[in-house]
Amino acid sequence: MVGCVGGDDFGQQLRASLREAGVDAAGVRVAHGVPTGLAMISVDGAGENLITVAPGANHEVGASDAACAAQGSPDVLVISAEVPVAAIRAALAQAAATRCVLNLAPVPTSPPEAAAVLADGVDWLVVNESEAGAVLGRAVQGLPEARLAAAELVAAGARHAVVTRARTAPCWLSVAMTR
């Protein structure tokens, strides 16, 4: 596990929980003077979720952390977009021979940044329909549009794309893959 936590109680608890679960947390560094990142998830009556994020120490992840993630030739590198785009791109570049799964949540607010990440050639891109819409610059709603969006994300550079439903229930997903 590679990333950053703050020097606060949350950060200490997270690192301790990782160690207790048998996760090698040596790559999780403490960013002093910055709070640990937090997210609050609310679900409305229609099943739509709203996620409020306070990124905190997640925004401290950088190229040196990306290099740490690629050390030892991991079989799979899983990246969450809660870290800066520069760190995502550095991890993808350093782990070129490693299978990479990118959960592009939250989607970068700059469409060119999102396009650049896809062009870097992520193996598996995972987005929900609203995130796919943000990357593609159009609404994506429902399974037929998700199938089309997954194919467009593959055409944009992802080797495989998974588009999930944005609502919490009922669940479905659409997958597009290169041959």
Domain range summary for the chain, segments of one domain joined by +? 1-60, 70-179
Provide the percentage of residues in the chain whose pLDDT is more than 90: 55
Q: Structure pTM?
A: 0.84
Report the topology of domain 70-179: UDP-N-acetylmuramoyl-L-alanine:D-glutamate ligase (3.40.1190)
Q: Give the per-residue pLDDT at 179.
A: 43
Q: Which of 14-23, 69-78, 134-143, 151-160 has the lowest mean pLDDT?
A: 69-78
pLDDT at 167: 62
Q: How many CB atoms lie within 10 A of CB 104?
A: 25
At 67 the pLDDT is 87
Whole-angstrom CA distances from 65 to 30, 31, 86, 88, 161 are 12, 12, 11, 10, 25
- The arithmetic mean of pLDDT across residues 7-30, rounded, is 95
